Amino acid sequence: MTTFYCLMIIENSIVLIAFLLAGYLVFAVIDILYARIFKKPLFINAVLFFKKLPPEEVEFLENNFSFYKKLTPRQKRIFQHRMNVLSKRKKFKTVAPLTITDEMKLLITGTLVMLTFGMRNYSIKSVKTILIYPSSYYSQIKKQDHIGEFNPAMKAVVLSWEHFLKGYEIKNDNLNLGIHEFSHALHYNSMQLWDTSSILFSRGFLAIQKLLANDEYSQTIKEVAYLRDYAHTNMYEFFAVCVEHYIESPTEFKKELPDLYKILKRMLNYEF
């Protein structure tokens, strides 16, 4: 009798697993088809119970992070939840004499959450460590002074705290170190994954490459002179600079380069 019941349990478990797998496959197909048709994920947030931030951290965001301040109450709950999750997943390290502060964690994590706010997969797993220097530093990899970089081998984003803060002092100059370096990480991360957000992102990047392959359009970008010269260094810098502009001066971006703006909108799935 005991053997019979054990076999029944095993059989029922197999049926349950098969049912769950079938359900997942059906969802995956629907999700992909939806993304192909509507150019966006079927859904972004599937959280039932949101994790909250302490009141003092919420107050800091309200006073110091303009993106958060503009969100709806529900969006703020999502933002807080993602902040809570990411602050535990990322390691923050500083270089002497700098010491880690709550302000650093909140502003840097907030930048990451803002950048991926329109994505379902928002954690950017290609970044595990955030290393913060007081100011510019000498990069042993590039053999020159730097203010920031993304190192995929070390799964780290390196930032100059001085220059990171400058990125938020002027909100529409299209210069934001945090956005720029995390954009590099987001690009690398999306090329490694096959979730819906990453697929849409990767297709968008290919669309940008195709757009720039058109000599006439490339010339238009230079004539418009909206993007700073550093964007023309290579495709990776072009994308990162575009994201800085897309977030900091979206109205002007949409007016000056509407085709490129449309692609960025699909890639990030959010209008700033």
Long-range pairs for 36-44 at CB < 8 Å and ≥24 separation?
Answer: 39/200, 39/266, 40/200, 40/266, 40/269, 41/119, 41/120, 41/196, 41/197, 41/200, 41/269, 42/196, 43/120, 44/118, 44/119, 44/120, 44/269
- pLDDT, residue 108, reads 98
Q: How far apart are CA 219 and CA 212, in angstroms?
A: 9
The residue from 175, 204, 224 where one domain ends is 175
- pLDDT, residue 210, reads 95
- First-residue to last-residue Cα distance in the chain: 65
| Claim to verify: residue 61 and residue 131 sit in the same structural domain | yes
For residue range 126-153, list pLDDT tens digits in order.
999 999 999 999 987 778 899 999 999 9
Phi then psi dihedrals of residue 53, to 5 deg: -95, 155
234: left (phi over 0), alpha (psi -120 to 50) or beta: beta
| Claim to verify: residue 202 and residue 253 sit in the same structural domain | yes
| Claim to verify: residue 129 and residue 97 sit in the same structural domain | yes
- pLDDT category at 12 given cuts 50, 70, 90 is low
In a domain, 212, yes or no: yes
If you average pLDDT over residues 200-209, what whole number do you get?
Answer: 95
Domain containing residue 106: CATH number: 1.10.472.150
Q: How far apart are CA 55 and CA 238, in angstroms?
A: 39
Cβ atoms 228, 176 nearer than 8 A: no
- Name the one residue in this structure whose structure tokens are 């880690």: 100
- State what percent of residues in the chain have pLDDT above 70: 89
In this structure, the dihedral spanned by the alpha carbons of residues 162, 176, 126 and 194, taken in order and rounded to 10 degrees, is 170
Residue 45, Cβ density class (10 Å: 0-12 exposed, 13-18 middle, ≥19 buried): middle
- pLDDT, residue 59, reads 97
| Claim to verify: residue 29 and residue 91 sit in the same structural domain | no
**What's 49's DSSP letter?**
S
- pLDDT, residue 65, reads 97
The residue from 144, 175, 206 where one domain ends is 175
In a domain, 45, yes or no: no
The parent domain of residue 34 ranges over: 1-38
| Claim to verify: residue 136 and residue 80 sit in the same structural domain | yes
In this structure, the dihedral spanned by the alpha carbons of residues 99, 104, 108 and 110, taken in order and rounded to 10 degrees, is 150
Tell me the two tokens of residue 32.
């992909």
| Claim to verify: residue 60 and residue 117 sit in the same structural domain | yes
| Claim to verify: residue 62 and residue 171 sit in the same structural domain | yes
Q: How far apart are CA 245 and CA 249, in angstroms?
A: 5
The whole-model pTM stands at 0.89
In a domain, 252, yes or no: yes
Rg of the chain (C-alpha set): 21
For residue range 67-91, list pLDDT tens digits in order.
999 999 999 999 999 999 999 999 9
In a domain, 180, yes or no: no
State which amino acid sits at residue 112. L
Give the HSE-up count for residue 143: Cα atoms under 13 Å, Cβ half-sphere.
0
In a domain, 49, yes or no: no
Residue 254, Cβ density class (10 Å: 0-12 exposed, 13-18 middle, ≥19 buried): middle
In a domain, 15, yes or no: yes
Question: Number of structural domains, the chain?
Answer: 3
Q: How far is CA 8 from the centre of its chain?
A: 47
Q: How far is CA 243 from the centre of its chain?
A: 10
| Claim to verify: residue 201 and residue 119 sit in the same structural domain | no
- pLDDT, residue 8, reads 63
